[in-house]
Structure 1
Amino acid sequence: MQTEPSPLRYLDGAAVKSLCAGVDPLDAVTEAFLGVRANRSGVATEAALRWTAPDGAAARSLVLPAWHEGAYGCKIINASVSNPDRGLPRAAGLILLYDTETAEPVCIMEGAHISALRTAAVSVAALRAVRPLPTVDRVAVLGTGVQARTHLGLLAAHGAVKSASVYDLSPPRSQAFAEELRASLPGIEVVIAADPESAVRSAQVTLATTTTTTPYVPLDWLPEGSVFLNVSLDDAAEDVLLGAEHLFVDDWHLVSEDDTRLLGRLAKAGRATGPDTRAPGARQVDADLATLLSGAYERRITPTDRTVINPFGMGVHDVALASRVHALACDQGTGVFLPR
């Protein structure tokens, strides 16, 4: 007897955002890192489609398949760098989850909020492993998009950030961002920086969330004891990546295979190697984030050491977070059911 396929649950952006409020994103991404370390979770080969939009802007579509603790799925995340000028989010996408036995899609959910939240959660979880969050008072923010807002909100929710020095190439965007922060996070003093150097030099933590492909932040801008969260592509110059006392990545294979980012290009040129490989004249990445978050990183991080956290972005974190959202949706009967 043929079994009827189960309905396909769809969760729109509002539903996803509401359900995410009931999930601890730092716990979700930490669990996923530890799952990867224990071979209970992982990622498959990613696919990237890149093109030039009619307006000349760089556009792309990424597909990130992954599994986590018995959940299987993928994220499809698309972006065009000119979207903010249109009044649109730079990135938009979907997350699909599959039935473990039949491999049927069981849920489609809006992916941009989860993508932003898991990215911020990876940054904050890694930062928490390096510095106690309540001691992080001053943050520099380079770029004023969704990632910047999500990171600051998550940092503030965990007792960090008393002041933020904000810089964006567009002064109107900086002003709008500052006004939005003052309304949404009134406990944070917001200052618009005249240039990126003054912002970085004033901060214990720098959050880079731009779309630049031209490195511009040198090592001597980073104060002693500071942390550089290199969330975006190429804000950090070579000497930051090669010269900071500690350098962490989420997945060396993904980083080293992507020559659209500086660290990947340094790897291909033989000037940077992974945590398990030494080479004469090459900077060895100190550890992956799974090692750091598990407590297995053996080198002491002193109060004056400069640390770079360089996450590539792993689909396993999207699947881990999305699977928790899906479980809540099932418990609460949330979503729209689509016929197959």
Structure 2
Amino acid sequence: MHALSRPLRYLDGATVASLCARIDPLEAVTEAFLAVRAHRSGVATEAALRWTAPDGAAARSLVLPAWHEGVYGCKIINASLGNAERGLPRAAGLILLYDEETAEPVCIMEGAYISALRTAAVSVAALRAVRPLSTVDRVALLGCGVQARTHLGLLAAHGAVKSVIVHDLSPSRCRAFADDLRESLPEIDVEIAADAGAAVRSAPVALATTTTTTSYVPLAWLPEGSVFLNVSLDDAAEDVLLGADHLFVDDWHLVSEDDTRLLGRLARAGRATGPGVEAPGARQVDADLATLLSGAYPRPISSTDRTVINPFGMGVHDVALATRVHALARDTEAGVFLPR
């Protein structure tokens, strides 16, 4: 059968989740980081469409094109901050994979599950490069949504976390989240923090997975030797980004070109620069995550150093995970075929 006549494979969310359960996501994202470092994988310019929904909530659609080891594709991930009030997931999306020769789409799959898993895998892989996961006994979670649940589940699956302290601006959501954790992860002690400061101060690792656009976590909250995973990108205050002992990003070009997030605004103001770029009065990002994960980061991270990981999000990791999902789908004849 000629490539042009092939049907389009579609994988729904349940199928994607079942196939992802057979994949090591930390291995996949680490492989992708190293491939980017070796110029075998990469990302193209992202596109963002933002609008205000009729109910006044902020909505957006992001398109992240990327290639990984000869596979080409993109993630389309949408979100509306009003979805929680509608009883809907905040984010929804699709991932498309293309034929290398003809460029036609060969697979389309539900993307929100992979997007959340990719995000958590990058965080946990970066944390593992900084601290042995077996020593990460306690974690603070800021924000009680899908990302927080996915991060904690992945940490637990890799032998980390004996206790967690959670905080959310919605007390009812926080209580429901804590109750869910006590049922689904009974081996982990769960506490609810009265405020974000109490949570961050009490844990050697803090994860910010919120929807805030206003920074609120100062450097003074971070204990000595702690790691702050700035997943939602705007939780860490200016003095955290400029004053941490070690600051890592996934892709400086993506960070510096974006003016909606704090670190990008600091870059545009000349107050932060990329790895290896010195400028008077500017904080230099210490390294990208590919350098850290490859073992090439030259500076030791001491037991008292404060480390900040600021992962902007690279579509190459979604494509890397989706490639593995697609391969399993072909091997197991999973999914349904759509006519062209």
TM-score (norm 2): 0.99
1:331 match: secondary structure: helix
Write out per-residue CA displacement over residues 129-178 of structure 1, whole angstroms, 9 at most, x where no aligned residue.
00000100110000011000000000000011111110000000000100
For 1:217, give the aligned amino acid. V
For 1:200, give the aligned amino acid. V
Show the 5 A alignment for 1:73-222.
73-222=73-222
Show the 5 A alignment for 1:1-340.
5-340=5-340
1:213 match: secondary structure: coil
Q: Any gaps of 5 or more consecutive residues in structure 2?
A: none
Aligned equivalents of 1:180, 1:112: Cα separation in 2 = 21
For 1:219, give the aligned amino acid. L
More displaced stretch, 81-90 vs 58-67: 81-90
Write out per-residue CA displacement over residues 1-45 of structure 1, whole angstroms, 9 at most, x where no aligned residue.
987510100000000000000111000000000000000000001
For 2:303, give the aligned amino acid. P
CA contact (8 A) 2:233 2:311 kept: no
2:18 match: secondary structure: helix
Aligned equivalents of 2:16, 2:183: Cα separation in 1 = 23
For 1:125, give the aligned amino acid. A
Aligned equivalents of 1:151, 1:2: Cα separation in 2 = 42
Q: CA deviation at 1:294?
A: 0.3
The percentage of aligned residue pairs carrying the same residue is 84
Aligned equivalents of 1:285, 1:28: Cα separation in 2 = 25
Q: CA deviation at 1:324?
A: 0.2
For 1:319, give the aligned amino acid. V
CA contact (8 A) 2:16 2:325 kept: yes
Q: CA deviation at 1:88?
A: 1.0
Write out per-residue CA displacement over residues 258-315 of structure 1, whole angstroms, 9 at most, x where no aligned residue.
1110000000000000002100110000000000000000000001000000000000
Aligned equivalents of 1:253, 1:83: Cα separation in 2 = 31
For 2:31, give the aligned amino acid. E
CA contact (8 A) 2:233 2:310 kept: no
Q: 1:3 to 1:332 in 2, by over 3 A?
A: closer
> Deviating runs (4+, > 4 A) in structure 1?
1-4
Aligned equivalents of 1:207, 1:85: Cα separation in 2 = 24
Aligned equivalents of 2:157, 2:241: Cα separation in 1 = 29
Aligned residues: 340
Q: CA deviation at 1:199?
A: 0.2
Aligned equivalents of 2:110, 2:318: Cα separation in 1 = 11
Aligned equivalents of 1:180, 1:86: Cα separation in 2 = 20
1:51 match: secondary structure: strand
1:107 match: secondary structure: strand
Aligned equivalents of 1:269, 1:181: Cα separation in 2 = 42
CA contact (8 A) 1:211 1:233 kept: no
Aligned equivalents of 2:289, 2:186: Cα separation in 1 = 32
CA contact (8 A) 1:32 1:316 kept: yes
Q: CA deviation at 1:185?
A: 0.8
Q: 1:99 to 1:280 in 2, by over 3 A?
A: same
Q: 1:245 to 1:333 in 2, by over 3 A?
A: same
Q: 1:80 to 1:283 in 2, by over 3 A?
A: same
For 2:203, give the aligned amino acid. A
